Each structure stands twice: as structure tokens, then as C-alpha cells.
Amino acid sequence: MLYYEAIQIFYRDCLGRMLSERTIQNYSEYLKGFGMYLQRIGKSNIEEITEADVLDYFAYKRKTCCEGTIKHNFIAIRACFKCLVSRHIIHTNPLDGIPKPRVPKKVVQSFNREEVQAILNAFDKNTFAGFRNYTIMSILFSTGLRKGEMLKLNLSDVYLDIDSMKVNGKGNKERYVPISPVLHRIIFTYLKKRREYLKEKSLNDNGAFIISCTGCRFTKGGLGNVFFKLKQSKHQWANRVSAHTWRHTFAKFFLLNGGDLFSLQKILGHEDIESTRIYIELTKEEIRLQNDKYNPLDNTKWQYY
């Protein structure tokens, strides 16, 4: 079977497993690049591809790509061949004997308490746009939602009566994320301002939870503009402003405040607990504060001199 015929089977398998559109697009990009390399070396049939071909391809990519990109290529190609083996199209996976590329551990960026307060105070809450942006940052900080998950929320997904929101996560998997008492009050006020703004501007309500000043669903580009304006400030936190930094910040404070890793996994929508463990990393100052708070010798009624 030709390589490009075989990978179409893999794409159909991805759709059947309800992988996200972005994941499938990434797989497609990496597999297309591998296919172009195979053409250059004169291999067109899927059965002809060997472990040596894959290793040569990674060596070729390392001339222009970082280890992170090599790792993503490895994951995509391995997943494809694993699927083809399970479908009995090929007998063995040429990547079985190749270890996954090791990528240097990234430092998890987050905000401290003072930085969180500064960002939340950066908006004019007397205007609709200002309060909407304040609400967005509060949601990201209080729930750890991915930006795409938040922007896809509809009014019908937010249940203030039971303090919960229905989130459509990766792979179209739904989960329910709690709404804290403070976030409840912020969202309640936002919804009131949202209704008043649409009425004042004579705009139709399209049912989107977060809306632009024209009444349309707020987009990633619109959120990017909000982050861009924050990054124009001269504060130390400016270059770290992103939805993912908020996600890390939520996770860090959740754990620092006594939350457990398994509950955090469910809230963040991670399938694998290992994906959640990266948030255990704390700074020296955070470790010291936690020790002051929980050290057994200092926080138990021992009799000592």
C-alpha cells in the first residue's frame, strides 16, 4: 500500500476516536513532512519503511528543528504506524525500537499573588469591555480553562444555579468545572452588564457567553488583543501574560491551597495524571512558605525546649 493511502486510514481512525481538529491537523503536518522525505529517498510503499529510515529522517530534521519538534514528529509517526499495525496493514511498527526524544524540562510560568491582583486591577470595570475582560481573566484564574474552551462557552453552558459550567474540551470530551463563590458574583454581574449592553446597542443575542463589542462571539484574536495590551505595560509580569500562564497559575494555587492532584486532573481535563504532575514544581519561596504552613514540628503541639 502506498504511504499516502495508508495515512488516510490513520486520519479516519483519528476521526473515529474523536481527536480534536487541531490534533489531526498537527498529525497531518508531521506525516506530510515525513512523506516528502520518503519521496526524496525513493520509498513510496508503507511496507518498505524501516527503523533506519525513521532514524535518518530525525537526523535530517535535527539540522533545522529543535528537540521539541522532533518529539512531536516522533509521536505523530509512531501513532500512525501503531494504527496501521492494529489494522494489519503492516506487521511491525518501525518506531518500536526507537526511544522517544528527550526534551529539556520547561519551567512552568505562573503569576504570584501580587501579579494576579495587578492584572485583575488593570481593567476599567465601569465599561462593558473592561468588565468583560476582567471577567475573562477571573475565569481563567479561577478555573484553569484553556482559552479555546472558554471562548466556546455558550450561555446555556453556564449554570449559576448549581455553580458549574459545562466545558467542551480536547477530543470534544465534556466535563463540568466548578464555579467558585467569588467567580459566581463576577459572572452574575457580567451577565447583567451583557444584557444591558446588547439592549443599549440594539444587538441580537447569539447565545455566546463571552461576546465582543459588536455582539459576536469573542474570538481568539480578540483575546489576543487583550493580552497584547497587557503586555505593553512595563511590569515584570507583562511578557508572561497568556491563557496558559493563567492555567498554570490556577493549578499552582489550587495545590498550594491544599487541593489534591486527582481533583486538579479532573478540573483541567487531563486524561493522564502525568500531565498534571508538572504543576507540582514550586519555587524556593513557595516551598519555604509551604514548609512554614505545614511543617509537623512547628504545627503540632509538641512539648519541646
Give one DSSP letter per residue of 161-222, joined into a string. TTTEEEEE-GGG-EEEEE--HHHHHHHHHHHHHHHHHHHHTT-----BSSB-TTSSBP-HHH
The pLDDT value recorded for residue 110 is 86
Residues paired with residue 176 on neighbouring β-strands, in sequence order: 166
State how far the Cα of 269 lies from the Cα of 238, in Å rounded to an integer: 27
- Of 216, 238, 208, the C-alpha closest to 226 is 238
Q: In the 8-state DSSP scheme, what is residue 154?
A: B
Cell numbers found for residue 214 = 459588536
Find cell 490534533 and name the residue: 23
pTM (whole model) above 0.75: no
Angle, alpha carbons 250-252-256 (nearest 5°): 115
127 forms beta bridges with none
pLDDT attached to residue 64? 87
pLDDT tens track of the chain, all 305 residues? 899 999 999 999 998 888 888 888 999 999 999 999 999 999 888 989 999 999 999 999 988 888 888 999 999 999 999 999 999 999 989 988 888 888 776 666 889 889 999 999 999 999 999 999 999 999 999 999 999 999 999 999 999 999 999 999 887 889 999 999 999 999 999 999 999 999 999 999 999 999 999 999 999 999 999 999 998 887 878 888 899 899 989 988 888 888 888 888 889 888 777 777 776 665 556 666 666 766 665 555 555 44
Q: How far is residue 246's CA from residue 256's CA, in Å, rounded to a whole number?
A: 15
Three-point CA angle 18, 22, 24, nearest 5°: 60
Phi, psi values for residue 72, rounded to 5°: -65, -40
Q: 149: burial class by Cβ within 10 Å (0-12, 13-18, 19+)? A: buried
Assess contact for 1 and 45: CB atoms under 8 A: yes
Cβ count near 213 (within 10 Å): 14
Q: Which three cell numbers stand for residue 127?
A: 465599561
